[in-house]
Structure formats: structure tokens, C-alpha cells
Amino acid sequence: MVLKKVKFLAKEAALRLKYMTNKDCIFCKIVSGEVRSNIVYEAKRVIAFPDINPIAATHILIVPKKHIESAVGFQKADTEDVMALFGAAKKLVDKNSLDAYRLAFNGGKFQHVPHLHMHLVAGKKIEWSKL
């Protein structure tokens, strides 16, 4: 049991290193473990962690392990990584029993971290302007 867990963690660590393609990117650093975060969901191609500056009671960032820059700039080869964001969103929606939520991508000057991420926000009231 312990050996299985160690093997799983070693595999995850290897994958994280493999996907760390931009050494100055804060989200790559979270993926690689260089910057600590409270990871609430992890799968082969994605991780999710709470936004450091939440705009609602629930505000989770879903991030591909691969450094893809934006929601409109990804390549065909990134399709599975992008799809995985939606798979993770479903898991998190179910896990948190969210009955009202918003999934969003920022772009251009609205995007502050140039590593693709989906915002999952939920709560009593979400001000659209804050996203």
C-alpha cells in the first residue's frame, strides 16, 4: 500500500518535471512543486488549487500541467490537456455539490498569468466585473 503510494508520487513528480516548460511561470512553479499550493484536485494532465485572491466563496483555478499560454492560442497537440480542464471542472463541481457556478477564461489584458487556467467560481453572488 505504502509502496504503491510512493510509486504514484514518484510518477506524479516525474510528470510535473516533464511538464515544467517555463521556469519563470508561477503556475509552472506550482505544478513542479517549487511553489507550494493547496492542491484540491490532481489528474494526469491538470491540477487545481484555490485562487490566492478569491472573488467568491469558492474560487478554484484549474490549470494544465503543460505550459499552454492562452485559451485562444493552444495547438491541436494540446487538445487533451484542454479537455482535461473540463473533466476536472466536473469532478470539482460534483465534489463540492455546486448547484450554481461559473467557468471562465480571461484573455488579452484581462489575463494576468500567461499560463492557461480556468476559473471555477461559485457562491451566493458573483460580480461579473470582478472576474
Residues in 83-122 that interact with Zn ion by CB under 5 A: 115
The C-alpha angle with vertex 113 and arms to 46 and 52, in degrees rounded to 5, equals 75
Least Å distance between CB 58 and ligand AMP? 13
Q: Report the Cα–Cα distance between both ends of the chain, in Å, rounded.
A: 43
Closest to ligand AMP by CB, 61 or 126: 61
The long-range contacts involving 37-41, CB below 8 angstroms and separated by at least 24 positions, are 40/92, 41/88, 41/91, 41/92, 41/95
Tell whether residue 127 is a contact of ligand AMP (CB under 6 A).
no
User: Is 117 an active-site residue?
Assistant: yes
Near ligand AMP by CB under 6 A, which window of 4-12, 50-58, 66-74, 92-100? Answer: 50-58
Q: Could you tell me which of 109, 1, 123 has the C-alpha nearest to residue 55?
A: 123
What's the rounded Cα separation, in Å, for the pair 56 and 108?
A: 23
Distance CA 6, CA 71 (A): 34
- Do 41 and 48 touch, CB atoms closer than 8 A? yes
Binds 28, which of ligand AMP, Zn ion, none (CB < 5 to 8 A, cut-off by type)? Zn ion
Which of 6, 9, 11, 22 forms a contact with Zn ion (CB under 5 A)?
Answer: 22
Does 52 bind ligand AMP (CB under 6 A)? Our answer is yes
Q: Which of 64-72, 77-85, 92-100, 106-114 is the region at the interface with ligand AMP (rule: CB under 6 A)? A: 106-114
Residues annotated as catalytic (active site), given as ranges: 117
Give residues in contact with Zn ion (CB under 5 A): 22, 25, 27-28, 67, 115
